[in-house]
Chains A and B, each alone.
Chain A
Amino acid sequence: AAGVIQSPRHLIKEKRETATLKCYPIPRHDTVYWYQQGPGQDPQFLISFYEKMQSDKGSIPDRFSAQQFSDYHSELNMSSLELGDSALYFCASRIQPGQVVPYNEQFFGPGTRLTVL
């Protein structure tokens, strides 16, 4: 079965550079979530999109922005990178309950490991 695809899997950037992370949800999934997991920490919700509109926002820095495109893939843009941005960034996707699955389940991608030097 198709899974959530994230690219790149690994990314190394210098301080003050920019980075773009991409997420391709499972086919027919219309909702995308972004989470940030720092070293030794639990995942923290950043932002989510439903049908190309922002649906919720968490602790996402102003330096970060994201969007969901017409094909439902999503991109997380990160500017003025700081050392503290080094983390594993997960994308998860979901389909609205009742269509295929009757419950709320988010399917996670493998993550993008961002290292800021």
Chain B
Amino acid sequence: AQTVTQSQPEMSVQEAETVTLSCTYDTSENNYYLFWYKQPPSRQMILVIRQEAYKQQNATENRFSVNFQKAAKSFSLKISDSQLGDTAMYFCAFMRSGNEKLTFGTGTRLTIIP
């Protein structure tokens, strides 16, 4: 079974600063996908960024980027130029290729301070 660990229950950062959220996972699989989901106070689950394990290049989506270290089983999320709207719970998630259920970490509550 796969496990996903987020060791930072809460983080806060000043607006416009950069913040990095950590995620580690444990799997014996070689083909899988990793995701970061954002859950704002509305509780809607919003996909922020995804990474295919077979790709060495780190994924980037505007102000969001990841540092994917496959050997270390690490998948951190960097938010640059943080904005007030980034305040949310962030979940790291794992999906094994061919088995499509998502396994989530326990989440990191991020607060952007004006």
Query: Would A45 and B102 count as touching, CB distance under 8 A?
Result: yes
Query: Which A residues are in CB contact (< 8 Å) with B99?
Result: 56
How far apart sit A33 and B33, CA to CA, in the bound complex (Å)? 17
Query: Would B43 and A88 count as touching, CB distance under 8 A?
Result: yes
CB of A37 to closest CB in B, whole Å: 8
Query: Does B15 sit within 8 A of A, measured CB to CB?
Result: no
Query: Would B33 and A42 count as touching, CB distance under 8 A?
Result: no
CB-defined interface of B80-107 with A at 8 Å, one 1/0 digit per residue? 0000000000010001010111111111
Tally of contact residues, B, Cβ under 8 A: 21
Query: Which B residues are in CB contact (< 8 Å) with A48?
Result: 100-101
Interface residues in A42-66 (C-beta closer than 8 Å to B): 42-45, 48, 55-56, 58
Task: Contacts A42-B107, A43-B91 given; indicate if A106 touches B50 (C-beta within 8 A).
Answer: no
Query: Which B residues are in CB contact (< 8 Å) with A113?
Result: 43
Query: Does A72 sit within 8 A of B, measured CB to CB?
Result: no
Task: Contacts A42-B107, A110-B44 given; indicate if A104 touches B95 (C-beta within 8 A).
Answer: yes
Tally of contact residues, A, Cβ under 8 A: 25
Q: A44's closest neighbor in chain B, by CB? A: B104
Query: Does B45 sit within 8 A of A, measured CB to CB?
Result: yes
Query: Does A105 sit within 8 A of B, measured CB to CB?
Result: yes
Please provide the 7 A-B residue pairs with the shortest distance between their CB atoms, ordered closest to farther: A108-B45, A42-B104, A45-B101, A42-B106, A43-B104, A56-B101, A42-B107
